[in-house]
Amino acid sequence: MKALAGRKVLLTGGLGSLGRAQAVTLARAGARVLVLDRPDIGDAEQTVAGLAGQARGDIAFVGCDLNRLADAEAAVAALAANEGGIDILINNAALIINRPFEQFSLAEYEDQIRVNSSAAFALARACAPG
């Protein structure tokens, strides 16, 4: 994975179990991993520090709520500018409602679409060069 050395990776949903494994693997390969997840997750900074220690690599936390698309897009655009660009975006975040769809409210469905689909588009646009 030499191709990842020195690359900046933005990983959404990075504090879930799959995201944590991805963050460690990417950091071990030499990437700078920017773990983006909800800012209200308790001990996020401590968790990311533990992942960085486990990987012996560069992992940082970025608190961002993907349900607020305009804020998320602006935050990621600023992050990309501060980092000198984002080389790789991994849209790993997902909002999963574990019950039959007929029990969803319209607001819950819209939240799910916003996080699972619209945020991926908005962040790709924010990370695009130029």
For the stretch 46-64, pLDDT in tens is 999 999 999 999 999 999 9
| Per-residue pLDDT, 129 | 86
Cα-Cα-Cα-Cα torsion 71, 72, 74, 77, nearest 10 degrees, comes to 170
Domain count of the fold of the chain: 1
Structural domain boundaries, residue 89: 2-127
Q: What is the pLDDT, as a whole number, of residue 2? A: 75
CA separation for the pair 93, 113 (Å, rounded): 12
Please, what are the averages of pLDDT over each run of 10 residues along the chain (130 residues)?
89 96 97 96 92 95 95 93 95 95 94 96 91
pLDDT at 130: 72
Give dist(CA 110, CA 4) in Å, integer.
35
Amino acid at residue number 127: C
- CATH of residue 117: 3.40.50.720
**Cβ atoms of residues 57 and 11 within 8 Å:** no
Pair of tokens at residue 87: 């080389």
Write the secondary structure of 66-97 as one string of H (helix), E (strand) and C (coil): CCCHHHHHHHHHHHHHHHCCCCEEECCCCCCC
The pLDDT value recorded for residue 1 is 60
